[in-house]
């Protein structure tokens, strides 16, 4: 076992609870020994993780800075105020709320602020790249609200803007939502803004996946166009696993009340402090370069996989992720995920537009470059990774002891040795 990079009290934990201590070490080893290509994951910095493991976790702080329902909040008020001001500056926003526990919690607040049960929302269908909280039947959003969904154009596999306009004018939704979990291309925020104004709707952007690219000024920002932008802080943004939102000033009070007391109780002050650290990191020139590198790597990986017959939907990507159709190589998404995992490559099966397979099987995979870019890998390494993925997916059998898995694993090990995750102290 290797020594974790974090925690001066690790030895105390090891003595008190060796089972959990061992799990912490095993997870560090897992990260260090494989290629992490899950588009919704990243590697938070030791500074962020230090804030997460702080005594701020002890403090109950219902309310907002200067307006708490508990005493003793003067210190945590400073942490939250810093997080708010840094978020506003980073994204050029009128107002920020950093209390949502997750992206789903932030999304709940939007429903709570602007909609009543039974109201109509127009969002992207989950099988086309949307998200569970955008009105799917298994989610609160589909159970409590009337969800109308748009999809993608069959030819371009990008958002069908003509369908969006037709559905908006037909159903007159209270809220129009843009964003999702598997959208490789840039979104036309100006189109959505004009459409929302035309029908008198709120325009909401769920930027969970790409907000880090916005923070790094690598892609256009939705903030000038949207009434509210929700996001997670743990994807490209590279912060703690949590959520936040920014909005126009006119909606600030309504959204704050929807976060607390409508949807949540006490905020997690240690996580809010970690968000403040993360926002400071994201304001640096180094992060801006990182965001650009994430896109360059994603584009190269998509191109290289496409050259090997693993077709990128939409023909490529403008962001940190690409979605690939495996039908040309005769493998399902579930099969590809298992074969890659056996060789030390972590990615996920994913439905492609108009997928003939069930979601738990799928015909595609989704790959993202945030984590490997954090490790310092570049476009040349993406070519190697594409070769490793192709070999594992098309020749492997899911057995980690097979010759192909061992061959691919050797290539993975070499990359991890050259570009280690959480480098061990000298």
314 is catalytic: no
62 is catalytic: yes
Give the position of tokens 């992490």.
36
Task: Quickly count: other Cβ atoms within 10 Å of residue 71's Cβ.
Answer: 7
Annotated binding-site residue? 131:
yes
The structure tokens listed for 3 are 């020594």
Full 3-state SS string of 93-153: CCEEECCCCCHHHHHHHHHHHHCCCCCEEEEECHHHCCCHHHCCCCCHHHHHCEEEEECEC
Closest CA relative to residue 313, chosen from 36, 42, 127: 127
The residue annotated as part of the active site, out of 32, 88, 241, 292, is: 241
Distance CA 336, CA 189 (A): 34
The residue annotated as part of the active site, out of 232, 271, 303, 332, is: 232
The residue annotated as part of the active site, out of 14, 62, 165, 387, is: 62
Helix (H, G, I), strand (E, B) or coil at 204: strand
The residue annotated as part of the active site, out of 10, 60, 88, 399, is: 60
Annotated binding-site residue? 101:
no
Radius of gyration of the chain (CA): 22
66 secondary structure, DSSP code: T
Annotated binding-site residue? 212:
no
10 is catalytic: no
The residue annotated as part of the active site, out of 235, 339, 366, 409, is: 235
Annotated binding-site residue? 209:
no
Annotated binding-site residue? 132:
yes
Task: Quickly count: other Cβ atoms within 10 Å of residue 289's Cβ.
Answer: 12
248 is catalytic: no
Nearby residues of 284 by Cβ (< 8 Å), 6 or more positions away: none
Query: Buried b vs exposed e over 364-402: b needs ≥16 C-beta within 10 Å?
Result: bbbbbbbbbbbbebeeebbbbbbebbbbbbbebebeeeb
Residues known to be catalytic: 60, 62, 206, 232, 235, 241
Annotated binding-site residue numbers: 126, 130-132, 249
Annotated binding-site residue numbers for (6S)-5,6,7,8-tetrahydrofolate: 126, 130-132, 249
């Amino acid at each position: 076992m290797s020594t974790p990079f974090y925690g001066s009290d690790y030895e105390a934990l090891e003595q008190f609870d060796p089972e959990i201590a061992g799990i912490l070490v095993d997870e560090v080893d897992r990260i260090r020994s494989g290629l992490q290509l899950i588009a919704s994951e990243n590697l938070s910095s030791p500074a962020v993780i230090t804030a997460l493991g702080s005594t701020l976790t002890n403090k109950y702080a219902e309310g907002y800075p200067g307006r708490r329902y508990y005493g003793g909040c003067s210190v945590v008020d400073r942490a939250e105020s810093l997080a708010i001001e840094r978020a506003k500056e980073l994204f050029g926003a009128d107002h920020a709320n950093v209390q949502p526990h997750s992206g789903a919690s932030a999304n709940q607040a939007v429903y709570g602020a602007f909609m009543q049960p039974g109201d109509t929302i127009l969002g992207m269908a989950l099988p086309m790249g949307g998200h569970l909280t955008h009105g799917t039947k298994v989610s609160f959003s589909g159970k409590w609200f009337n969800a109308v969904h748009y999809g993608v154009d069959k030819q371009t596999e990008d958002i069908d803007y003509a369908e969006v306009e037709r559905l908006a004018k037909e159903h007159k939704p209270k809220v129009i939502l843009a964003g999702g979990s598997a959208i490789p291309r840039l979104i036309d925020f100006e189109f959505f803004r004009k459409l929302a104004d035309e029908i008198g709707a709120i325009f909401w952007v769920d930027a969970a996946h790409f907000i880090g690219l916005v923070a790094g000024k690598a892609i256009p920002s939705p903030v000038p166009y949207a009434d509210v932008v929700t996001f997670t802080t743990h994807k490209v943004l590279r912060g703690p696993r949590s959520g936040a939102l920014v909005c126009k000033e006119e909606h600030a009070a309504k959204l704050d009340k929807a976060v607390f007391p409508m949807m949540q109780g006490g905020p997690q002050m240690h996580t809010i402090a970690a968000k403040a650290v993360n926002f400071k990191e994201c304001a640096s020139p180094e992060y801006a370069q990182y965001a650009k590198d994430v896109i360059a790597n994603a584009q190269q990986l998509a191109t290289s996989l496409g050259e090997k017959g693993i077709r990128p939907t939409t023909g490529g990507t403008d962001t940190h992720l690409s979605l690939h159709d495996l039908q040309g190589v005769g493998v399902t998404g579930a099969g590809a995920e298992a074969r890659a995992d056996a060789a030390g490559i972590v990615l996920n099966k994913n439905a492609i537009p108009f997928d003939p397979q069930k979601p738990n099987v799928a015909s595609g995979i989704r790959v993202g470059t945030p984590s490997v870019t954090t490790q310092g890998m570049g476009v040349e390494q993406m070519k190697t990774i594409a070769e490793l993925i192709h070999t594992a997916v098309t020749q492997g059998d899911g057995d980690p002891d097979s010759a192909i898995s061992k061959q691919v694993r050797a290539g993975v090990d070499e990359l991890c040795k050259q570009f280690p995750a959480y480098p061990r102290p000298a």
